[in-house]
Structure 1
Amino acid sequence: MGFKKVDNNDLKTKMSPNFLGMPIREGGKLVEKTYRKNEIESSYTGLFSEILILNEEFLDFHYSTDGRRNSSEGNGNISIFNNSIKDRLWDAKLQFSGSQFNDQNIENNIELGIFEPNSNKVLKYDIVSPEELPDLVKVYENIENLTEDLNFSTNSLSDSNLNENRVRNHLLLLERENKIKFSISIVNVSNSILEKIKFKKYFPNNFYDTEVESEKIKDFKITKTFIECPLPNLKPGETLEIIILSKVFPKKKEKITTGKLNLTFNLPNKVLSGVKINKFSAYSHAMHAIKKVEKNYAPNHWQCSLIFENHSDFKIKLKSILIYDKSKSKKILDLDLGATGDTIILPRGKYVSSYFDFIDEKEPT
């Protein structure tokens, strides 16, 4: 009877992507129990991928001829971007809440499915009760008749020139061409920059030869019934002046109105409707397995540790680890990682838990 010499390499097996080694027996009796602390291993120096979530709201305010806001509309876009060039996300969920979603609450999730690398998805919603939104702009409109035969100035009108609705009346020459000047001031009274502003001024069919005088406005569209053009961004407290010239030829005594005014704009990095993004979750490329060593002096007794590897380019935050026995009635390992601070696993990084013991005839998996 003889013995064959076996070195340590003969006892070990190669690791596969989904399995970290066969059980390794300890040589000899365990004299002193060994310990392992929870630790993170990482040497990644590349670029990180991110999930970017942007919520933009677009508001459409309607103003009467006296500058009062008489109606409002609004909608929003929630855009989710996966900027990784290689990592797919699947089973993505977005949890959000707010008064704008009558059928949503904090417990509900929106299923977003799969995000391919370098892709995005957009969720659209309408703003409920936009009339309750605060005034973000003030609009002032001054009207002047430039007809030479009319020795008249709107600034000299008294209260007797106001109708029962407190709207100022202006005199027009009957059966004569009247040249009208509209001086419109748009003031940003909010504390945010207004972007993507679109201006639209309506006119009845009585008006013709309409034109715009403004150094800051170049790309405008003029039709028989309205003028439409984009406006430059407005900083908080900034005012933009628009001069519109038009003509009207009253053929009979009748009331001629000047038409309403619409403003559409966007507030970057600000949400007025109360929509709140609560949580985004998804799966990406990661691996976890149990590394185990069967104790030679105690058959079916296993010394184990959990290994979690981040195979993606995303930073992954471990919040908790919970391992049950086969019956799922007994907790073998229960770690609340959030209670001890953030446990961040960088791309290509690895988390190894502390040792825990397990007794079973079959090796732990």
Structure 2
Amino acid sequence: MSDQHEPVPFLDLAGVNGALRAEFERAYSEVLGHGRFINGPEVGRFEAEYAEYCQARAAVGVGNGTDALELILAGLGIGPGDEVIVPANTFIATAEAVLYVGARPRFVDVLPDTLLLDPDAADAAVNKNTAAIIGVHLFGQMVDTDRLLEVTRKHSLAFIEDAAQAHGARFAGQRAGSVGVAAGFSFYPGKNLGALGDGGAVVTQDAELAAKIRRLADHGRSADSRFHHDLRGRNSRLDSVQAAALSLKLPGLDQGNAGRVRAWEQYVNELPPTVRPVTRHPKAEAVYHVAVVEVDERDKVCTALDEAGIGWGLHYKTPCHLDSAYSEFKESLPVAEAAADRILSLPMSPTLTERQVSRVCEVLRSVTA
């Protein structure tokens, strides 16, 4: 098969995980040997490693990234009668978490260049019921935390980080997970730091909040007795096997992120002028979880990519406030709505080669010129 016809996967998970196969098998064997599939020693070890990596005091492993956000909200006592500001351009899980604690999401618009939460729109949306702002670090780039912290401090609100797509990203030198009152991470297999199944974590500087979230995630057990429950909790735990896999992958995260940055910079240099890449804030060090661009005639472009065997995605085709399950929150948010018709995610992996990026750009050039 010639290079011109070689498929380019949207995400090369086999390549990302293949080099560690022997280590994964050895770790699984160790868990089989001790039999502590839940709350085994691997979990505590990974929590300590990941907290240190995020420049935070504590990490609590949970079942997935959505649970992480919900547990943060519950741990802060946010619920019925409260509103939480959420960007319209995010995965629906951000809004789900707000609704599942009984609060109401208040969707706001995004910035036209980065497609991240607009701090001025968030400021204007604050009312007497607002309890928190969730800043979503989308596409691997952190929101403008300087501006959003100004807004939350002015109104005495909690600033929560949705860092599901931002493992290792920085803004003004600070890691994702170290800035807000707490951050929710996902370790879904496709993430920059992905497990071999579902997983997530809450990361925070607040040791008391971490302890409360750990109890909430373990059925609300008392800190003094596993037979007594003094909180109304739930079941959300990171499995020992997944924690072991994450510990093996964490040392290579920065190197993998550097590979994503190289691929993105090549995209920016070689994309045709009719394809506009999402921009980066000057203070941001992005890790490019996905490579998002804006195009005209997206259906035509996607058909060309399909015919060439090139993977693609949409992040996201429908803004949250326009999804049918959220129709009661519908309002006019023009930037997010306009972008939804134009955004396209190109192949992105740490293993993406220069030749593959060039081939993607050649196909885009042929169909958008």
Higher helix share: 2
Give TM-score, length-normalised by structure 1: 0.19
TM-score by length of 2: 0.19
Structure with the higher strand share, 1 or 2: 1
